[in-house]
Structure 1
Amino acid sequence: MYIILMYDIVMDEDGAKVQRRTFKICKRYLTHIQNSVFEGNLSEVNLMKLKKELAQFIRKDKDSFIIFKSRDEKWLTKEFLGKEDDKTSNFF
């Protein structure tokens, strides 16, 4: 399935540490496309692994993660406003 994941980490005294760990975990599974946004194809098993790893660091009272799922990336279109980045060339 095709995944778009984005997150917001509160930058308090522990925020930088949480953000670094979150970034490294997401980077192992998905392509980094913009600040705290990642995309890519994952199996259901790998999505479960990703969520399990992230759950170790997410501070449920402060941080938020959104995961958009689609059966196939072909169902999505992309439009740039401002600087266009070719890291997101997975969309057609």
Structure 2
Amino acid sequence: MSHDNGRGGPGVGDMGRISPGRSIGSRGGSRRSSPSSIADSVQSAARLEELRLKLEIRKMDIEAEERRESKRQAAEERAREVEMMRLELEREKT
């Protein structure tokens, strides 16, 4: 049976209902993970973190490339505008 905090709801820290007869934490014969499964879990967590960092770096690289491309396009647009003004001034001189 699950315990409550005296107000009809789950106690502080409860993450949901506990099935009757199920132990919590170290009470009543908790299972221990084998050293190899712990090592596998640590290795998996490290690999996930490595992949997350690589993804973050890739995202930053893409964003930087997008900014460079945007600046390049803006510079090309300014160059076209300057060229059009130059041509217009030449035309006015003649």
Structure with bigger gyration radius: 2
The structure that is helix-richer by fraction is 2
User: Relative CO higher for 1 or 2, CA cutoff 8 Å, sep ≥ 6?
Assistant: 1
Normalising by structure 1, report the TM-score.
0.20
Q: Which has the higher strand share?
A: 1
- TM-score normalised per structure 2: 0.20
